[in-house]
Amino acid sequence: MPESPLNVLAIVGSLHRESVTRTVINLTADRFQTAGCVVDMLDLQGEPLPLYNPDTAYDTPAFVALQARVDRADVLVLGTPDYHGSISSALKNFLDHFWHEFAGKLFATMVASHEKGLTVTDQLRTVARQCHAWSLPYGVSFTENVDVKDGRITSDSFEKRLNMMVRDARIYGGLLARPRRA
C-alpha cells in the first residue's frame, strides 16, 4: 500500500502586508510541494483568529474548520518575525488556540530576524515541548535584504539552510506521522 504524502501546514505569523516572513514561507511551501508534500497555507493576516479566550474559542464555525486543517497536518512550519526577541502576537494566538492538536507532530521554525532569532526559536521549541510536539533541533533564521530580497533568496548559506530544513522536516515529520496515522 503506498504511503500517504506528508501534510504540511505552513503558517505565516506576520500581519505586515509586505512581510518577508510571508515571502519566505511561500518559497518554503513551494519546496515542500515540489518534494511531493501536500501543503496548506495559513496566512494569519488573511485568516485572523479572535484573541484566544478559553471560554469562547471553540464555539465558532471558523474554529472548527481551521481545527480540521491543523488536525491534518503532520508538520507545522511556523514563520514569524522576531519582535523584541519574541514571536509575533498573531502566531502566539494561533498556538494558544490549537495546542491540543500539536501532540506528536513536528514543528519547523523560521524566523525573520536581524539577531539570528535564537530566543524566538527557543520559545517555539518550548511551546512544542509543552504541547507534546517535536521540533527540529534548529531553526532557520533569515534577514531581509541580506538573505531575501525582492521575493527571491539572495544568499547561498540561507539557500542551504532552507533546503536542509525542508529535507529534515520531510524525513522526521514522516517518521512521526507513521505511528500517529496508524
pLDDT tens-digit series, residues 113-138: 988 889 999 999 999 999 999 999 99
Show Cβ contacts of residue 45 under 8 Å, excluding neighbours closer than 6 positions: 12, 14, 15, 16, 17, 19, 22, 90
Which tens digits make up the pLDDT trace of 82-116? 999 999 999 999 999 998 999 999 999 999 998 88
Contact (CB, 8 A) for 12 and 79: yes
Residue 173 has pLDDT above 90, yes or no: yes
Question: In this predicted structure, what is the pLDDT of residue 59?
Answer: 79
pLDDT of residue 61: 81
What Å distances lie between residue 29 and 26, 48, 86, 165, CA to CA?
5, 20, 23, 12
| 52 C-beta neighbours (distance < 10 Å), count | 15
pLDDT at 115: 86
Distance CA 114, CA 30 (A): 24
- pLDDT digits 0-9 by tens, 133-166: 999 999 999 999 999 999 999 999 999 999 999 9
Residues across the chain: 182
With a cut of 50, say whether residue 1 has pLDDT above it.
Answer: no
CA distance linking residue 139 with residue 115, whole number of Å: 13
**Distance in angstroms (rounded) separating the CA atoms of residues 22 and 24:** 6
Q: What is the pLDDT of residues 16-70, one digit of tens each?
A: 999 999 999 999 999 999 999 999 999 999 999 999 998 888 877 888 899 999 9
Residues 6 or more apart whose Cβ sits within 8 Å of residue 35 = 166, 170
Return the C-alpha cell found at 27.
Answer: 518559497
